[in-house]
Amino acid sequence: MIDLFNYERRKSTVTHVGVLDIGGDNPVRVQSMTTTSTDDTQASVEQSERIIDAGGELVRLTTQGKKEAENLRDISARLRADGYKTPLCADVHFNANVADVAALYAEKVRINPGNYVDPGRTFKVLEYTDEEYACELQRIEDRLLPFINICKEHHTAVRVGVNHGSLSDRIMSRYGDTPEGIVESCMEFLRIFKKYEFGDIVISIKASNTVVMVRSVRLLIAEMEKEGMHYPLHLGVTEAGEGEDGRIKSAVGIGALLSDGIGDTIRVSLSEDPECEIPVAAYLTRYIRRRQGHLLIPAEAGKDFDYLRPERRQTVAVGNIGGENVPVVIATQNKANQPVMVSSADMPNPDYIYVNDTLPKQLVKGQKYILDYNAYIELATKGELPEDNVYPIFPTPAIPLIGTVRSEMKFLVLKYGTPSEEFLTCLKYHPEVVVVCTSNHQNKLGEQRALVHQMMTAGVRNPVVFAQMYQHSSADGQRKSSPITTKEAFQLEAAADVGALMMDGLTDGLWLMNDGDLSADDIEQTAFGILQAGRLRMVKTEYISCPGCGRTLYDLRTTIARIKEATKGMKGLKIGIMGCIVNGPGEMADADYGYVGAGRNKISLYRKKVCVERNIPEEDAVEHLLALIKSDRATQSEG
């Protein structure tokens, strides 16, 4: 199905959305969604034009009711009068009748299987016999058929958009909160569309948890293949957040799939002005596209590897690397030979610092260092080597010397293509060796996967740290004219490169390097941010915040800033910040606490998926959230 080692776009059918074609051999399309009220024609037109001027190829607008759906006609007319031909997509939840109206005026309509006919997730446990369950599916088909006929008549495309947070109680009761349930929610609708020979479909499966999102999309593709479906896919991480965290999280999830050739259109959901999403999405697609036409990587998958349901690769722990340990972060000593330490108060220091061939004159207590093997041997010979926390690193040509050096931990730099007999024998006899996997291949993901799969096939269980090298400098001439900053480019590339490696369960550590003028602090924080986005290591507060839309019931950006300021330093805490409840209270199941718009300037608070306080005035809600967190922590400490 998917070639793990050689990049190739997944073959999909073409969906026609007005003047835009999605899928097939067409480039990956980028899109965004307005945050204006769809009743406000002027504001919606102006924001749509800003999205399009930034490079957006499709604009989505929320349609809560028939009035908003009908106003798409005026918005579309104004855009066409201004010379814009970009298609519009109506976003529909809870009301199938609205979808019927929207299909008259929009080039594309998004429907959510979780609440199209079913009421959405209310956490009721429902019991169905097989006959009763079949009747529920027939009810969906009966309601969907008129919509299909309208879409056929008006040449309207459909996006079947499943959200992890809004699976119906019916699906939850039979399949549970699983990728299999997410996929089945989608497949039920696709089977109906296929039955009635409607093919202008785009599919999305989204979650705020990148692991759930990636695994569900992988599984969906496999299920569609079994049933002869090849519809194009829309990718996105919902509620990704804002700033660099939102960018890194989106690049991890979207990049993990794009890197495997999966995805025909993307939306990077940021809690920012929607036009800010477009340059990020465009940069990601361009970066992944560079892999096309690369030299073949002749590798085979390990026999025990399961792409659809991957588990963490079993390794023997070497110190705090591998085994059951969280992945480590390695940093590189800066050129001024000053100790590399993360300055941010809510971020840890790197686990290891590579100092080239010279140890600092003053070692930081408790900090671990990696030293070039020849310098390590020289210090050991002179009796000047510190007793602990300094470990040698060997290049491939120095493999014969590994056995001559005494150290409880050693690092070996390897690339795929190194003669296997020599390095595999070394690793089998030296379980104290940590592999540092590097690549300068055009498709570095494929080559790095290939090395680890080679180790898996040989039964070698040494931990693997992935080392990624970049070249980003603010002095780069191309960067000056780009809307993407040097730091953003570095973060997007690194997150996209590592995403699939994390999802595959192969990552015991991460070592990011940059030949340019990025600060050491930026590089290390990016590494920790990537691991957190991949749900491998929680090092700071995580904010699961929606991008906002016409349904948003309070000032989203101001509120996010207030909550961040009030909760910074609460390591590992996950807080969902939602403009409304449209994606369902299930979205809060992935957060410890939820702050959700309940009415105009009214807030409800959730503890995971349970609402604990309703309709709080917006001006008091942040204080109520803090009180809830403090109360829970006090109770936990007493227990």
pLDDT, one tens digit per residue, over 486-532 is 999 999 999 999 999 999 999 999 999 999 989 999 999 999 999 99
Provide the pLDDT for residue 342. Answer: 47
The angle that helices 520-533 and 243-258 make with each other, rounded to 10 degrees, is 60
Nearest to 525 by CA among 344, 352, 327, 370: 344
Burial 438-464 (b: 16+ CB within 10 A, else e): bbebebbbbbbbbbbbbbbbbebbbbb
Residues 354, 372: Cα–Cα separation, whole Å: 8
Q: What is the dihedral sign for C-alpha 58, 63, 67, 70?
A: positive
pLDDT, one tens digit per residue, over 424-481 is 999 999 999 999 999 999 999 999 999 999 999 999 999 999 999 999 988 765 555 6
pLDDT, one tens digit per residue, over 551-569 is 777 777 888 888 888 888 7
CB neighbours (10 Å) of residue 310?
Answer: 18
Nearest to 144 by CA among 179, 173, 109, 107: 109
Residues 289, 337: Cα–Cα separation, whole Å: 37
Paired residues of 318 in beta bridges: 321
* Edge-to-edge strands, sheet with 542-545: 542-545, 574-578, 593-599, 602-607, 610-617
| pLDDT of 389 strictly over 80 | yes
Residues 8, 460: Cα–Cα separation, whole Å: 29
- Residue 273, SS3? coil
pTM: 0.93
pLDDT mean over 613-620 = 90
Domains of the chain: 14-290 (3.20.20.20), 328-534 (3.20.20.60), 542-637 (3.30.413.10)
* Token representation of residue 599: 């009415």
**How far is the first Cα of the chain from the last one, in angstroms, to the nearest whole number?**
50
616 alpha carbon, distance to own chain's centre: 32
pLDDT, one tens digit per residue, over 9-47 is 999 999 999 999 999 999 999 999 999 999 999 999 999
CA 636-586-242 angle, to 5 degrees, is: 85
pLDDT mean over 290-301 = 95
* Token representation of residue 72: 């798409």
SS (H, E, C) 51-71: HHHCCCCEEEEECCCHHHHHH
Residue stretches of the annotated binding site: 546, 549, 580, 587
- Would you mind telling me the total number of residues written for the chain in this entry? 639
Provide the pLDDT for residue 207. Answer: 87
pLDDT, one tens digit per residue, over 160-179 is 999 888 888 888 888 888 99
Nearest to 221 by CA among 11, 500, 30: 11
Residues 273, 292: Cα–Cα separation, whole Å: 32
C-beta of residue 128 within 8 angstroms of C-beta of residue 172:
no
pLDDT mean over 329-341 = 69
Residues 597, 555: Cα–Cα separation, whole Å: 10
Residue stretches of the annotated binding site for [4Fe-4S] cluster: 546, 549, 580, 587
* Token representation of residue 504: 């595959």
> Which range in 227-231, 381-385, 600-604 is most confidently predicted, on average pLDDT?
227-231
Residues 227, 187: Cα–Cα separation, whole Å: 10
pLDDT, one tens digit per residue, over 356-384 is 999 998 899 999 999 999 999 999 999 99
- Residue 313, SS3? coil
* Token representation of residue 393: 């690193």
Residues 356, 513: Cα–Cα separation, whole Å: 13
Residues 26, 30: Cα–Cα separation, whole Å: 12
C-beta of residue 92 within 8 angstroms of C-beta of residue 99:
yes
Q: Between these two residues, 320 and 564, which has the higher pLDDT value?
A: 320
pLDDT mean over 138-158 = 96
| pLDDT of 227 strictly over 90 | yes
Q: How is 175-237 classified by DSSP, letter by letter?
A: H-SSHHHHHHHHHHHHHHHHHTT---EEEEEE-SSHHHHHHHHHHHHHHHHHTT----EEE--
503 alpha carbon, distance to own chain's centre: 10
- Residue 158, SS3? strand
C-beta of residue 541 within 8 angstroms of C-beta of residue 565:
no
Out of 127-131, 143-147, 422-426, pick the least confident: 127-131
Q: Between these two residues, 206 and 79, which has the higher pLDDT value?
A: 79
| pLDDT of 590 strictly over 70 | yes
Provide the pLDDT for residue 87. Answer: 98
| pLDDT of 242 strictly over 90 | no
